[in-house]
Amino acid sequence: MTTKILTALPVYNEQAHVAEVLERVRQFSPEILVINDGSKDETAAELARFPEVRDVTHAKNIGYGAALRSAFDYALRENFDVLVTIDCDGQHEPRLIPDLAAALTDDVDIVSGSRYLDHRLGDSIPPADRRHINAVITKLVNERLGLSLTDAFCGFKAYRVSALARFDITELGYAMPLQLWVQAVAAGLRIVEFPVPLIYLEEKRSFGGALDDAKFRLAHYHEVLDRELRRSGSIAVPCDKWSTPCGTHG
């Protein structure tokens, strides 16, 4: 039986990147979904050049987490087997889409890209505040949930679509991955990491609003993680039970 794979890209004001990224993505994924999260620039006009690409448009900008939630809902509704998510800023390698999907074996539910699992991949240096916050929050997620992640925030992932029904995504912004990790552990989902290149093309790319302040962003991530842990009543589990590197590619 052929595995139905959908690659989804959350997009907000990406007129500068979206056409180039889609040209590359469609070389490796026959089915593509773009979630246009209320873009105000010429993103919609760029997308019109790709009539074969599926799309969901939010009437207004809701947030990165909301775009991923729409991708989850779409993949479930259209009966795909695998959902791959990839950002539209050119910092992920579309050529790895088939590899992430293939790493989603029978005993894996989430394959999560990691920019820090193999330091030989890529030669970019992330902005200091982003690397620090990622390291702090990844360590905290591991301690609280019994995981062994190396990159809590990479948007390049592959999901078993049947597992997506286990999520109740209410965190609509950039902190959504923290809610996802808590719910994944609570649901007993099986997670592996997959090494992907570390690429930063726009070091000063904005999160928007108060999140551009590193101290505020770190505090916000702490708040979201604590709130979701209280909401789920999750109990940490041994590290080696849930999260391990993908040995074939590590």
pLDDT digits (tens, 9 = 90+) for 216-243: 899 999 999 999 999 987 544 444 433 4
Report CA torsion sign: 141, 10, 245, 234. positive
With CA atoms as reference, report the closest residue to 197 among 248, 123, 250: 123
Query: Contact 10/35 with Cβ under 8 angstroms?
Result: yes
pLDDT(245) > 50: no
β-bridge pairing 191-195 and 110-114: parallel
pLDDT(246) > 50: no
With CA atoms as reference, report the closest residue to 73 among 41, 105, 35: 35
pLDDT(204) > 80: no
With CA atoms as reference, report the closest residue to 175 among 139, 234, 233, 134: 134
pLDDT digits (tens, 9 = 90+) for 28-79: 999 999 999 999 999 999 999 999 999 999 999 999 999 999 999 999 999 9
With CA atoms as reference, report the closest residue to 221 among 134, 129, 156, 128: 134
pLDDT band at 121 (very low <50, low <70, confident <90, very high): low
pLDDT at 100: 97
Q: Cα–Cα–Cα angle for 209, 114, 197, nearest 5°?
A: 95
pLDDT(203) > 80: no
In order, the DSSP letters of 154-169 are: ---EEEEHHHHTT---
Residue 42 lies inside a defined structural domain of this protein: yes
Domain extent at residue 127: 5-245
With CA atoms as reference, report the closest residue to 176 among 57, 63, 55, 89: 63
How many domains does the structure of the chain reveal? 1
**CA dist., res. 212 & res. 127, Å (int):** 12
pLDDT(167) > 90: yes
Residue 37 lies inside a defined structural domain of this protein: yes
Residue 133 lies inside a defined structural domain of this protein: yes
In order, the DSSP letters of 30-89 are: S-EEEEEES--SSHHHHHTT-TTSEEEEESS---HHHHHHHHHHHHHHTT-SEEEE--SS
Residue 149 lies inside a defined structural domain of this protein: yes
Residue 250 lies inside a defined structural domain of this protein: no
- Give the CATH number for residue 239: 3.90.550.10
Residue 12 lies inside a defined structural domain of this protein: yes
pLDDT band at 96 (very low <50, low <70, confident <90, very high): very high
pLDDT(119) > 60: yes
